[in-house]
Structure 1
Amino acid sequence: MKADYIIVGAGSAGCVLANRLSADPKNRVLLVEAGGKDNHWLLRMPLGFMRAYKTPHFLWHYETEPEPSLNNRRIAIPRGRVLGGSSSINGLFFMRGHSLDFDTWRQMGCEGWGHADVLPYFKKMERSWRGAGPYHGDSGPLPVVPVDTSRLLHEPLMQTAEAAGFGTTEDLHGEVEEGFARGELTIDEKGRRASTSRAYLTPALARPNLTVVTGALTRRVVIENGRATGIEVHRDGKTEQYHAEKEVILCGGSYNSPQLLMLSGIGPGDHLREHGIEPVADRPMVGRNLQEHPRVPVHFAMSKPASFLNELRFDKVALSVIRWALTGRGAFATQVNSANPILKSQPDLAQPDLQIWANPIRMDAKIWFPGFGERQEHRMTADVILLHPRSAGWVRLRSADPGDSPAVTLNIFSEPEDFETARRGIEIVRRIYSTPPQSEFTGREIVPGAELDDPSALDTYIRENAMVTQHPVGTCAMGASPDTVCDPQLRVRGVAGLRVVDASVMPTVPGANTNGPTIMIAEKAADLILGRPSLPAEDPRTLKEAAA
């Protein structure tokens, strides 16, 4: 099989590229995915994610190596194994990140990736409920809608912000990029999940120049005379090669893209030789710089029976699923997020470093039957998420077998500053949830427990309970330095005809759920790959100052 462009991985980035590259009928595009189709109803219904991300058929069942700073616990790191990748199983939350996140990339040597450079691509991809404006687009493939907060105790939390010492904002992606805000989701007009498979790939499937192959595990990139010429895949019990006339583009994500580079001989030379792989390009930074958003659980009992557990009574669940199927509306057609506080743990910071995972539901909530068994206690979560952790981990090969999962060490909380930030976050959550009117719903603190306020005791709690948000980035980072894995055009250094386009190229983790920024990267990458001029930079702040 031959194509001009071979895209490996039909996830958040791969589906975008398949659409954009195949828009020109002259380009023959082959999209190769190891997983299967994404047509299960749980992957369509927004609230179905609470089941989907636990369903074996939809997942790569990865977990970390024993985490050195978390008492050697192994952390579950599931990834989507269907068309759309993790955009088909995630919590549908849409964020971009703070403008300084991208300006920092530019300052690190990633020319063309500052906020003014990437804003046009965010606007291009977006079909925002807000309509078109300086910060938003209204005609892109990706629909973005607000959380339906009618059952989610949104108002008490928003009204608490000022009394607790924080602000609010109508738009975290506009002029005011911090404060308590209403969450936004990738859901289409029919109430269905808008994964990249549904938003980008499905509309392009009828094109004769686009071929999609599922159930095909890529074993390695074929490299001849220093150039990527294709890939080797295993499918239906057979191993075969697909040839790329122009480029091979890896879109496997922050775990699988570095794994595939190393299986192809691109990575730390000594490590590759340990697994019997002869290095083609000795690139020590492949698999390094792994960054994630750590999450520290903070849970409260509720003083009133007002959690989303009320919507999980068996008969209500049945009616909600039927209503969603028929109308795309109702309790199961949205998320379970009260609000999206993006805050500074210290007032002198240049940008927010905390996100509060504010949900009026316990994470182990179960459907219940009136009169049968004991109903669960009403609880709410307010987990502390570190948006800019100092700690970084790595991805290595477990073996030379492409069927083996990569060996991932997140290494979270290896830096003392991250413990300090998490403790400040816990203090902030306690202040928020003890302040009226939110406090009217707050019962006892279940974890960590109000009695736990000593720094050493809190650090012990963090080591025993910290998790992650499934936002890995950075393992094939771009940059200007010759040591970086990719250049700012996302080309792999040392091998011609090979790029990486996914979250692994981000040099730092943005202060946001990473699905949105990954889609933006793929939109911009399409222009880079096709040799088109980038969209003109836009800076609404400069335009506003000029108008004033």
Structure 2
Amino acid sequence: MSEYDYIIVGAGSAGSVLAARLTEDPNVRVLLLEAGGGKEKSENFLIRMPLGFLKALLNPKYTWPMRSEPEPYCNDRVLPLPRGKMLGGSSSINGMVYMRGHSRDFDGWAQKGCRGWSHAEVAPYFRRLERSWRGSDDVHGGEGPLPIARNSDRHLLHYELMEAIERAGYPITEDIHSGNEEGASRVELTIDEKGRRASTYETYLKPAMDRPNLTVRTDTLTRRVLFEGKRAVGVETESNGAVEIVKAGREVILCGGSYNSPQLLMLSGIGPADHLRERGIDVLLDRPGVGGNLSEHPRVPVEFAANGRITFVNQLRFDRAAMSVIRWYLFGTGPFSRQVNSANPMLRTDSRLDRPDIQLFANPVKIGSDLWFPGFRKEPPHVLSADVILLHPQARGSVRLKSSDPHDLPAIRFNLFDNEADFATVRAGIRMVREIYATQPQASLVKEEILPGADCRSDEALDAHIRATAGVTQHPVGTCAMGIGSHSVVDPQLRVIGTEGLRVVDASIMPDVPGANTNGPTIMIAEKASDIIHGRSLPADETPETEAA
């Protein structure tokens, strides 16, 4: 039986950060457990090369084959939910988009009782993690572990789209994290100076793995948390069929993400009591909020046939793609060293709103287009795509156990579009896309709308399109929600309410999904959690209120 000060379960976006920060203290012994593979996967070229994520995302070698339950308001469709199966977790297979979220998102957390999590209090932790291409200033960090790069504009039809957005009457911004936090900009990415993906494995964990006080075990499933009374004292693990008990002298910290952290709590007897009993699990603590409050950003596709052979499909011709891979490998440059995103519009469908409610995932290619070569493989159609992403959905879902077997993947249901407000916002977003893509110079790039189609105009027709095509952006949050209410799972110090020696540190603690890609906020949570555990905190930013005081 081994014993450590801290046991961290999950080496993903949060766990890798937390392990690196906690082991900066040489007197602390940390065990990091990861059910997925080790560095041989995290360092594979499909993972390191930015555009390789399009191939890795649904490959069972690199991702857990999670699926939703049939979505009742989306024609009972089952949605793919790939999660990273390696060190770095989903930061090793995501689209690398870096955003923080709107300042009012975090102020909303604080207003729900999450003391210490206002924008003024989390902003210093964002700066601490960032190594921005902009350098250090009052808004951005320039010396942190995580490199933030600006996306390329070559081959992406960036300027035509930006000009059309401005001509259509929507704002343009050079920096979505400064000023009014609204508008269209060039997307920023977690890519390093050599054109390599900057996962939390590469940027936090790998530099820390030589420390004698850090032990990392991969291909190791955590079966349950062990308790003495209500105090977490260790975990039960399984590797190569062998079951082992590992003790934690101080804390067990769950960093499994919004699907696995609530699953592990329930397997350990913490969750909705009736559900646990139905699965044959002894109830240690009745916490009805565990696995509830699941929130995601729905995305709904809008596509246009391009007016000619003008899209990124040209870069997917096999000979050009091969040269791009070589160029990336040798120099870290070229079309495969960045994202295919044309621009990152964060817009309001109603001027009365206090923050953007729609993000457009605009690309000069249909995602999923494959390599081609004349005479051997057919050229994919040239398509301009613009998914409408709902930033603040009202729908809430759940994560539940399929059985008491820790090998079983959990049952996940989002209840996407279970309310009229979410339908209405996405309808408005689709009409916004149509307006922008009908505005010059973008209009000259468009031949015709192909999805949902120019004849799809009425609310009823658009709702049918939403139900038939909606997916998710792989931004699940909220299933171990932070707060002070009866359905909260962790308190503002991220301690599981009703227990001792047990915390959750990952996206599951977010009470609401922020209006942004969630990898950046998850890393921020881990940075702040490391200070909470050490009993310290960075000074909050000054606000007009504090300055007046």
Q: Distance in 2 between matches of 1:364 and 1:219?
A: 36
Q: Match for residue 170 of structure 1?
A: 174
Q: Match for residue 10 of structure 1?
A: 11
1:7 alignment partner AA: I
2:540 alignment partner AA: A
Q: Distance in 2 between matches of 1:292 and 1:224?
A: 35
Partner of residue 72 from structure 1, selected from 73, 76, 88: 76
Q: Match for residue 191 of structure 2?
A: 187
Q: Distance in 2 between matches of 1:293 and 1:57?
A: 26
Q: Match for residue 21 of structure 1?
A: 22
Q: Distance in 1 between matches of 2:515 and 2:175?
A: 15
Q: Distance in 2 between matches of 1:455 and 1:225?
A: 55
Q: Match for residue 495 of structure 2?
A: 491
Q: Distance in 1 between matches of 2:328 and 2:396?
A: 41
Q: Match for residue 393 of structure 1?
A: 397
Q: Match for residue 535 of structure 1?
A: 538
Superposition TM-score, scaled by structure 1 size:
0.98
Partner of residue 102 from structure 2, selected from 98, 116, 119: 98
Q: Distance in 2 between matches of 1:290 and 1:2?
A: 34
Q: Match for residue 162 of structure 2?
A: 158
Retained in 2: the 8 A contact 1:106–1:114? Answer: yes
Q: Match for residue 341 of structure 1?
A: 345
Q: Distance in 1 between matches of 2:328 and 2:232?
A: 46
Q: Match for residue 34 of structure 1?
A: 35
Q: Match for residue 59 of structure 1?
A: 63
Partner of residue 528 from structure 2, selected from 524, 531, 542: 524
Q: Distance in 2 between matches of 1:523 and 1:374?
A: 47
Alpha-carbon offset, residue 373 of structure 1: 4.2
Alpha-carbon offset, residue 494 of structure 1: 1.0
- Secondary structure of 1:367's counterpart equals coil
Q: Distance in 1 between matches of 2:130 and 2:513?
A: 21
Change (3 A) 1:542 1:185: farther
2:242 alignment partner AA: K
Q: Match for residue 118 of structure 2?
A: 114
1:468 and 2:472 aligned = yes
Superposed CA deviations along residues 214-271 of structure 1, whole A, max 9, x for unmatched, are 0000000001111000000110210001110000000000000000000000000010
1:274 alignment partner AA: E
Superposed CA deviations along residues 101-137 of structure 1, whole A, max 9, x for unmatched, are 0000001110100000000000000000001011101
Q: Match for residue 221 of structure 1?
A: 225
- Number of aligned pairs? 544
State how 1:323-342 maps to structure 2 within 5 Å.
323-342=327-346
Q: Name whichever of 205-214 and 357-366 sits farther off.
A: 357-366
Superposed CA deviations along residues 11-70 of structure 1, whole A, max 9, x for unmatched, are 000000000000000000100000002121111000000001021111110101111101
State how 1:342-421 maps to structure 2 within 5 Å.
342-421=346-425
Alpha-carbon offset, residue 425 of structure 1: 0.3
Q: Distance in 1 between matches of 2:99 and 2:130?
A: 11
1:338 alignment partner AA: S
Q: Match for residue 204 of structure 1?
A: 208
Q: Distance in 2 between matches of 1:483 and 1:45?
A: 41
Alpha-carbon offset, residue 374 of structure 1: 2.9
Alpha-carbon offset, residue 541 of structure 1: 6.6
Alpha-carbon offset, residue 304 of structure 1: 2.6
2:208 alignment partner AA: A
Q: Distance in 1 between matches of 2:359 and 2:166?
A: 17
Alpha-carbon offset, residue 540 of structure 1: 6.5
Superposed CA deviations along residues 62-101 of structure 1, whole A, max 9, x for unmatched, are 1011111011111111111100000000000001000000
1:537 alignment partner AA: A
Alpha-carbon offset, residue 481 of structure 1: 2.1
Alpha-carbon offset, residue 542 of structure 1: 7.0
Retained in 1: the 8 A contact 2:54–2:368? Answer: no
Alpha-carbon offset, residue 331 of structure 1: 0.6
Change (3 A) 1:541 1:386: farther
Retained in 2: the 8 A contact 1:135–1:540? Answer: no
1:220 alignment partner AA: R
1:424 and 2:425 aligned = no
Alpha-carbon offset, residue 160 of structure 1: 1.2
State how 1:258-277 maps to structure 2 within 5 Å.
258-277=262-281
- Secondary structure of 1:57's counterpart equals coil
Superposition TM-score, scaled by structure 2 size:
0.98
1:210 alignment partner AA: L
Q: Distance in 2 between matches of 1:159 and 1:36?
A: 45
Q: Distance in 2 between matches of 1:352 and 1:478?
A: 24
Alpha-carbon offset, residue 162 of structure 1: 2.1
1:83 and 2:87 aligned = yes
Q: Distance in 2 between matches of 1:39 and 1:237?
A: 26
Q: Name whichever of 268-277 and 477-486 sits farther off.
A: 477-486
Q: Name whichever of 500-509 and 373-382 sits farther off.
A: 373-382
Q: Distance in 1 between matches of 2:358 and 2:116?
A: 27
Retained in 2: the 8 A contact 1:134–1:540? Answer: no
Q: Name whichever of 23-32 and 33-42 sits farther off.
A: 33-42
- Secondary structure of 1:398's counterpart equals coil
Q: Distance in 1 between matches of 2:59 and 2:379?
A: 24
Alpha-carbon offset, residue 529 of structure 1: 1.0
Q: Match for residue 51 of structure 2?
A: 47
Which ranges of structure 2 fall in alignment gaps of 5 or more residues?
A: none
Q: Distance in 2 between matches of 1:201 and 1:135?
A: 26
Retained in 2: the 8 A contact 1:228–1:497? Answer: yes
1:535 alignment partner AA: L
